Amino acid sequence: MMATNDFEAQAVAMRDQLVARRREFHMHPEISFEEVWTAGVVADALRDLGLEVQTGMAQTGVVAVLEGEKDGPTILVRSDMDALPVLEANDVPYASKIEGKMHACGHDGHMSVILGTAELLQARRQELAGRVKFVFQPAEEVGQGAMRMVEEGALQDPKPDYAIGLHLWNELPVGAIGLDSGTVMAAVSNFDVEIKGVGGHGGIPQETVDPVVCASHIVTALQTIVSRNVSPLDTVVISVTMVKAGSAHNVIPSRASLHGTLRTFTVETRDKVVERMHTLCESVAAGFDCTAHVNVEHHTKPVINDEKLVERARQSFDALKLPGWHYVTTRTMAGEDFSEFAQDCPGLFFFVGSANAERGLNYPHHHERFDIDEASLPTAVALLSAAVFDLLKDGPSNGK
């Protein structure tokens, strides 16, 4: 019987396979809910491992179950699959072959890592007491894929006892592992503010009600929510990212609109901020004789790590004795719809450093030149395999 720390050697041995698979995904990016080719490659790889595979969930989602030799808990292991509508600027042999689409967030690496993990765990199936439910979801980038999969039964037959996910993270260098309990990623909401005034001649402003001036004051006023309505010990981001108005230099328009993102670490704070946004936008607009309508759409809940599950994972990671790797506190206002899978069971989401500044592989996520140091792939496989294996090796009472 092999020890948990053998996963590092096994993962390193499959490095070429992990890199090749990641690059294949990178060259063929598909955006949210269009991951048809991607899902086909994933499903075929899982079938080749002898797993029972379900396709077509949430349009392009893939689910496969690995049954252990004995009964025990069910662990959901999740990967995202979608790319972004970004024109790649990298000059590499594996650059995107699809104009205007790019894996600019690391999902290509995630799929390679999860498939590698499935291979290692399948090889040790006889040592597992329980099962692993591999979920490959579409549309993470638009915050809709996980919810759709949950609605269509991804958490049923079997229902998971734990949910685990990871992110290759260019905010951390290779050699760093982000592992913390509590909230590690934010709840994400988008907002739109439609402002109505009275348009007219740009040289005769007294005959108009200018929505552009009103919009400018609303942008400034929204920042006071963070500074004056939220505790300094809480965490909130309100960013107006688009301002739209007008069609000519000499015309004051009758309408203007603001669009942006809201990030919080708790749903309670999110709801308080949204209430304040409605009041503030409507009141400021009224002060300028305009009207304002606020619409907020919630996309993801906060990602919250279970304290006991984090401690178990830390023990598993420590047992690997990875050379040169260390822990880094990692919390971010970026969001992840992995949170949908961990609403009714303990969840674990960790970060694997993937940046290498010396090689120019440190561009941020969603950048046109985003790329990762592929040395992170075997490490991610070893970490994930160890965490899952240790939760299943002792049977139903393990980790409870």
User: Can you say which residues are annotated as belonging to the binding site?
Assistant: 105, 107, 141, 167, 366
Element containing residue 229 per DSSP (H, E): none
Residues 138/172/312/339 CA torsion (nearest 10 deg): -30
Rounded to the nearest angstrom, the gap between the alpha carbon of residue 381 and the centroid of all alpha carbons in its chain is: 18
Q: Longest Cα pair distance anywhere in the chain, in angstroms?
A: 85
Contacts within 8 Å (CB) and 24+ apart, 319-325: 319/3, 319/4, 319/5, 319/386, 319/390, 320/4, 320/5, 320/7, 320/8, 320/382, 320/383, 320/386, 321/5, 321/8, 322/8, 322/379, 322/382, 322/383, 324/175, 325/175, 325/176, 325/177, 325/379
- Reference 184, options 300, 298, 304; nearest CA is 304
How far, CA to CA in Å, does 57 sit from each of 48, 139, 152, 225?
20, 12, 7, 40
Q: How, if at all, do strands 52-57 and 61-67 pair?
A: antiparallel
Annotated binding site for Mn(2+): 105, 107, 141, 167, 366
Give all strands (DSSP E) within 49-141, no chain letters: 52-57, 61-67, 70-80, 129-137
373: buried, middle or exposed (CB in 10 Å: 19+, 13-18, 0-12)?
Answer: buried
- Reference 105, options 380, 298, 335; nearest CA is 335
For 348-358, give one letter per residue: b (16+ CB within 10 A) or e.
Answer: bbbbbbbbbee
What sign does the dihedral 56-342-132-383 (CA atoms) show? positive
Question: Per this entry, what is the length of the chain?
Answer: 400
Q: Are 328 and 176 in contact (CB under 8 A)?
A: yes
